[in-house]
Every structure is written in C-alpha cells, then in structure tokens.
Chain A
C-alpha cells in the first residue's frame, strides 16, 4: 500500500497564481485532513472531511478551498497565492473518528514569491 500520497513535493508560485495540491489515499479512510506547518510552529488544520461530499473548515481556512468527490482524493486549492501561504502542507487520513490512526503524507513544500 502506498498510504497517503501528496503531489507535487515542491513548488514555487508567483503571487496571485493558483494551484492545486493533490492528496490521495488507498486505505479507504473516511476522514481526511489538510494541515500547514510553518517554521517553528505546530501543524495548523486548514480543512478536513469526514467522507465523500462533506468538508469543513479547520483553524486556518482563509485563502484555501477543498473538495471531496471521492473517498480517495482530497485536493487543496489555492486561488490567489500570497506570500503568507508559503509553508509545508501535509495531508492526512484516518479511519472514522480515530485520531491515533492519522496517517500523514510526506508533504508539499510551497514557496510563494
């Protein structure tokens, strides 16, 4: 099993550009999450989903959008990239309601210049 796969691993964007960070999992997990990790800071929850067709805002959702059309995929969209969105983004998934079993991808390092 591949687990949680994130693409791309690295990306540099110009201010105002848009992009989609891809996340897919092959564990048939219902719950999926997007976090950002800034230097010297803890992970902050951006959005999460408890199942296909259902998404909810986390702690820092502004400037991002998500969709969950399938159980496997949970893409994160940046519409107008801003320097404040420079960060490392992690996607995670878990079986229903079990925080202990959150599996993380290896992250996407995003720089906005």
Chain B
C-alpha cells in the first residue's frame, strides 16, 4: 500500500547549525504535504505546508522542499535552537481523492547546546 516514511529515526544537531529532516512518500497522486512538530506530551503542531505545484516554500526559519520526481520532501530549519527539539513528521494527502492525511512515523530532533 501507499506509505509515508522518514529515512532516519533520530537527528542530533549543534545549536546554531541548520537542520535538514527528510521524508519519502510513495503515493504519486499526493498533491499536498504538511510538516508537523510534536513536543513531548503535546499534540502535533502545524509548521509549514506545500502543494505539488510548488518546489519550495519558506516560513520563519523553516523551508520545505518538494522533489516530485523522486517523491521526496525535506524540512530545513535554520539556526536550530533548543526549542526546536521535538519529533517532526510529514503528512501527505491526495486532495482529489479523500483529502485525508497520511502521516509519517516521525524523527526526533535533538539540539546540543
């Protein structure tokens, strides 16, 4: 079946460095993607989204890149801060079908002081 997954379970970065979190998706019909941040004991929080008619979208300190050719999504966090430590996961949807989100497994980002 279709799935959304992440390449690495954990990522450790030095405070101030840039972080890159990757996500592979397998449903070629997916046309909408979201990155979520989940802090311990909390529900997921929306970070940024991108539609398939775009390759790149920027927010505050975050950038999402979409490569439809290889079905790859990445989240870049600039100048990573201790408050960025959390689990990050991607989600995809085929808005032309049922518009339901399929979530990836998540990757833990740990920021070293």
The count of residues in chain B whose C-beta lies closer than 8 Å to any C-beta of chain A is: 23
Complexed CA–CA distance, A91 and B9 (Å): 25
Given A42-B4, A42-B104, A45-B100, does the pair A99, B93 have CB atoms closer than 8 Å?
yes
Contact between B42 and A106, CB atoms less than 8 A apart: yes
Binds A, one of B13-21, B43-51, B68-76: B43-51
The B18-50 residues at the A interface (CB cut-off 8 A) are 32, 34, 41-46, 49
Which of A45, A58, A59, A104 sits near B44, CB closer than 8 Å? A104
Smallest CB separation, B75 vs chain A (Å): 15
Which A residue's beta carbon lies closest to that of B4? A42
Complexed CA–CA distance, A84 and B44 (Å): 23
The B46-81 residues at the A interface (CB cut-off 8 A) are 46, 49
Contact between B44 and A106, CB atoms less than 8 A apart: no
Complexed CA–CA distance, A4 and B46 (Å): 14
Complexed CA–CA distance, A59 and B102 (Å): 10
Q: Which 4 A-B pairs have the closest CB atoms?
A: A104-B43, A42-B103, A43-B103, A104-B44
Q: A40-B9, A42-B91 are in contact. List 12 more A-B contacts (CB 8 A).
A: A35-B103, A40-B106, A43-B44, A45-B100, A90-B43, A90-B44, A92-B43, A100-B46, A104-B43, A104-B45, A106-B43, A107-B43
Question: Hey, which bits of chain B sit against chain A, CB under 8 A?
Answer: 4, 9, 32, 34, 41-46, 49, 89, 91, 93, 95, 99-106
Question: Hey, which bits of chain A sit against chain B, CB under 8 A?
Answer: 4, 35, 40-45, 48, 58-59, 90, 92, 97, 99-102, 104-107
